[in-house]
Every structure is written in C-alpha cells, then in structure tokens.
C-alpha cells in the first residue's frame, strides 16, 4: 500500500484558517486521496476526497499538488469543534479498493 506522511501535531487559533499537509510520494495514478477526522471518543468521520483536481465541500477544501505527491486539507475558519485527529488516506484500486490504511494522523489543537 502507498504510504502517507503527516506531522504529528499542529496548533491553530480559533476562526483562523488551518492547512494540514500530507505527503504521499509513492502515490499511483489511480489512488484517491481521502481525509477523515476523529473527534475525541468517537469513530472517524469522512471529511473530503479527491483524485487530481482541488475539491471543496461544506466542511473543508482539498488542494492536490500537480504531481499528486502531496495534498493539503484546508479548514477555512477553525472552530473549537474542529479539534481532532486528521487522517490522510490513499485508496488503492489495484489491491483492495475499499481498504483504508490509516497512519497515526495529525492531532489538531484549536486555541480560543
């Protein structure tokens, strides 16, 4: 499985934008990039996914580098409720496309 690398932790101030990076230098051409987050004492929840183009939804934006070797999850205005562990995952169609291989993620702390 292709691997992802994320910083262990990041801090942000409330109501400021947050950019969470992810490196995936061994990504293949058909791998989708997914982001999930896990709030304290809850199961992970879906945030966003993309293949090549930048994506926006009500929760966040996903910026994908032109060579696809990295991506950035953007939270436009962080709130205290956004404090969570954020996971960047590659879904590989060549093996088990449904499988999500989680790393240890980035723990985001939001300061009031």
Partner 1 sequence: EAEVAQSPRYKITEKSQAVAFWCDPISGHATLYWYRQILGQGPELLVQFQDESVVDDSQLPKDRFSAERLKGVDSTLKIQPAELGDSAMYLCASSLGGDRTDTQYFGPGTRLTVL
CA distance 10 to 12: 7
Which CB sits closer to partner 1, 50 or 110?
50
According to CB under 8 A, which one of 35, 71, 84, 91 is a site residue for partner 1? 91
Choose the binding region for partner 1 from 11-19, 26-34, 61-69, 71-79 (rule: CB under 8 A): 26-34
**16 is an interface residue for partner 1 by CB under 8 A:** no
93 within 8 A of 87, measured Cβ to Cβ = no
**102 is an interface residue for partner 1 by CB under 8 A:** yes
Question: 3 is written with which tokens?
Answer: 């691997």
Question: 108 is written with which tokens?
Answer: 């985001």
Which CB sits closer to partner 1, 98 or 112?
98
CA distance 36 to 53: 18
User: What's the gap between Cα 38 and its chain centre?
Assistant: 11
Residue reference for tokens 């992802």:
4
**37 is an interface residue for partner 1 by CB under 8 A:** no
Choose the binding region for partner 1 from 9-17, 52-60, 67-75, 101-109 (rule: CB under 8 A): 101-109
Q: How many CB atoms lie within 10 A of CB 75?
A: 21
Q: Give the residues lining the site for partner 1 (CB under 8 A).
A: 30-32, 36, 42-46, 49, 85, 87, 91-93, 96-105
């Amino acid at each position: 499985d292709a691997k992802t690398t994320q910083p262990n932790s990041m801090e942000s101030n409330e109501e400021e934008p947050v950019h969470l990076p992810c490196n995936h230098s061994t990504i293949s051409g058909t791998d989708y990039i997914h982001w999930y987050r896990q709030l304290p004492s809850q199961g992970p929840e879906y945030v966003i996914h993309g293949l090549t183009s930048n994506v926006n939804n009500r929760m966040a934006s996903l910026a994908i580098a032109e060579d696809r070797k990295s991506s950035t999850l953007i939270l436009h205005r962080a709130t205290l409720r956004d404090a969570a562990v954020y996971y960047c995952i590659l879904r590989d169609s060549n093996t088990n496309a449904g499988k999500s291989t989680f790393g240890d993620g980035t723990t985001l702390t939001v300061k009031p």
